[in-house]
């Protein structure tokens, strides 16, 4: 991993900054490439695991925040309130601006009604979250006045990721809502996780806990509501990704203090493992080759996310 050390400052991970850029680009491709019908025969092989980018962002956030905000004694470098204000100031303007823009575009598209489908565009329009092959007509819903008011309140308070039934206004901002919850837990969780003597074992445990909800859903449900939405974006369900990033930073820090670094062989093996995970994940999503529980388990271990490629 490339890094550069600045005098009097925390080391800067250039490789992670590039990774964040490419993940952001991949999310854009994930949300757009499938709309081009002329390439639909092969584009899925590129976009099927686009949801992995969000998980990777959550892991990166945990890693980088722990690296920046924890001192050598595993304590916060500044009061929790100061940390929360900084994080909120970064998230909230982006969120509100994006929501207002999305609402304006939806309203304009519905008003202009250039195509027949455009006439249905509205800020009230939502799709119920299911993953069981339900028809578009059966999951299409237009919010009532009460639902609209509740959704507005949830978006204003960054609580909309807790709605398991449908995404509203600007759907992709559920990740900002989840991040806000992660930030609230960080000042309490991060120092305690850093004090764990064996962060690698803790990461294994966190991953095992992370597998429990999807396995339960696959074993006992038909991938309807609200379980699909809960697996997709509930901040408590996604929290292990963020915690894994903190533990990964602890693991890296402890190895660095011992003078241990990954050699070229270890780096190559790690890269090979990630590549195999991606290939296996794509293959599973394209061919549904394994039974439900095994499929879910493989997908969660290889790609830390829920199982639906539509997410």
State which H helix or E strand residue 296 sits in.
helix 292-302
CA 178 from centroid of its chain's CA atoms = 8
Report whether 161 contacts 152 (CB < 8 A). no
- Give pLDDT, residue 166: 92
Would you place residue 301 in the very low, low, confident or very high pLDDT band (cuts 50, 70, 90)?
very low
Q: Is the pLDDT confidence value at 2 over 50?
A: no
- Give pLDDT, residue 297: 41
**Which has more pLDDT, 222 or 114?**
222
pLDDT in tens, 212-230: 998 998 888 888 889 999 9
Q: Is the pLDDT confidence value at 299 over 80?
A: no
Give the pLDDT mean for 188-217.
92
91-96: list long-range contacts, CB under 8 Å, 24+ apart: 91/158, 91/176, 91/179, 91/180, 91/183, 92/158, 94/176, 95/155, 95/158, 95/173, 95/176, 95/177, 96/156
Give the pLDDT mean for 150-178.
93
pTM exceeds 0.75 for this model: yes
Report whether 2 contacts 13 (CB < 8 A). yes
- Give pLDDT, residue 109: 85
Over the chain, what is the mean pLDDT? 83
Give the pLDDT mean for 114-119.
74
Q: Which of 246, 231, 184, 214 is nearest to 59 (CA)?
A: 246
Q: Is the pLDDT confidence value at 17 over 60?
A: yes
**Cα separation values, 170 from 77, 115, 220, Å:** 34, 21, 31
Residue with tokens 């990740």: 175
Q: Please tell me the distance from the alpha carbon of residue 67 to that of residue 85, in angstroms, as a whole number.
A: 19
- Give pLDDT, residue 288: 60
Q: Is the pLDDT confidence value at 291 over 50?
A: no
pLDDT in tens, 166-177: 999 888 899 999
Cα–Cα–Cα angle for 24, 134, 163, rounded to 5 degrees: 55
State which H helix or E strand residue 141 sits in.
strand 140-142
Would you place residue 184 in the very low, low, confident or very high pLDDT band (cuts 50, 70, 90)?
very high
Q: Is the pLDDT confidence value at 91 over 50?
A: yes
**Which has more pLDDT, 60 or 133?**
60
pLDDT in tens, 49-71: 777 888 888 999 999 999 999 98
- Give pLDDT, residue 283: 79
Q: Please tell me the distance from the alpha carbon of residue 203 to that of residue 292, in angstroms, as a whole number.
A: 24
- Give pLDDT, residue 309: 37
Q: Is the pLDDT confidence value at 156 over 60?
A: yes
Would you place residue 29 in the very low, low, confident or very high pLDDT band (cuts 50, 70, 90)?
confident
Q: Which two tokens stand for residue 225?
A: 């509501």
- Give pLDDT, residue 243: 96
Q: Is the pLDDT confidence value at 48 over 80?
A: no
**Cα separation values, 226 from 118, 165, 217, Å:** 28, 6, 10
The partner residues of 141 in beta bridges, in order of sequence, read 126
Q: Is the pLDDT confidence value at 5 over 80?
A: no
């Amino acid at each position: 991993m490339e890094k550069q050390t600045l005098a009097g400052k925390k080391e800067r991970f250039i490789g992670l900054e590039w990774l964040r850029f490419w993940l952001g680009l991949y999310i854009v491709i994930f949300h757009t490439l499938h709309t081009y019908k002329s390439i639909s025969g092969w584009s899925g092989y590129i976009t099927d695991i686009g949801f992995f980018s969000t998980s990777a962002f959550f892991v990166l956030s945990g890693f980088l925040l722990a690296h920046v905000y924890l001192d050598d004694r595993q304590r916060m470098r500044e009061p929790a309130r100061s940390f929360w204000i900084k994080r909120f100031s970064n998230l909230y303007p982006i969120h509100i601006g994006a929501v207002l823009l999305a609402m304006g575009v939806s309203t304009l598209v519905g008003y202009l009604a250039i195509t027949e489908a455009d006439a249905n565009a509205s800020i009230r329009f939502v799709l119920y979250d299911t993953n069981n092959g339900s028809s578009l007509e059966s999951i299409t819903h237009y919010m009532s006045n009460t639902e609209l008011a509740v959704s507005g309140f949830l978006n204003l308070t960054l609580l909309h990721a807790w709605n398991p039934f449908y995404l509203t206004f600007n759907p992709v901002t559920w990740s900002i809502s989840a991040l806000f919850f992660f930030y609230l837990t960080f000042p309490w969780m991060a120092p305690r996780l850093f004090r764990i003597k064996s962060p690698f074992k803790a990461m294994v445990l966190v991953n095992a806990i992370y597998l429990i909800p999807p396995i339960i859903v696959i074993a006992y449900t038909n991938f309807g509501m609200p379980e699909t939405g809960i697996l997709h974006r509930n901040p408590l369900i996604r929290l292990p990704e963020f915690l894994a990033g903190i533990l990964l930073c602890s693991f890296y820090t402890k190895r660095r203090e011992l003078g241990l670094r990954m050699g070229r062989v270890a780096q190559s093996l790690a890269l090979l493992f990630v590549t195999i995970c991606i290939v296996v994940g794509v293959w599973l999503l394209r061919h549904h080759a394994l039974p439900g529980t095994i499929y879910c388990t493989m997908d969660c271990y290889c790609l830390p996310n829920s199982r639906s490629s539509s997410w």
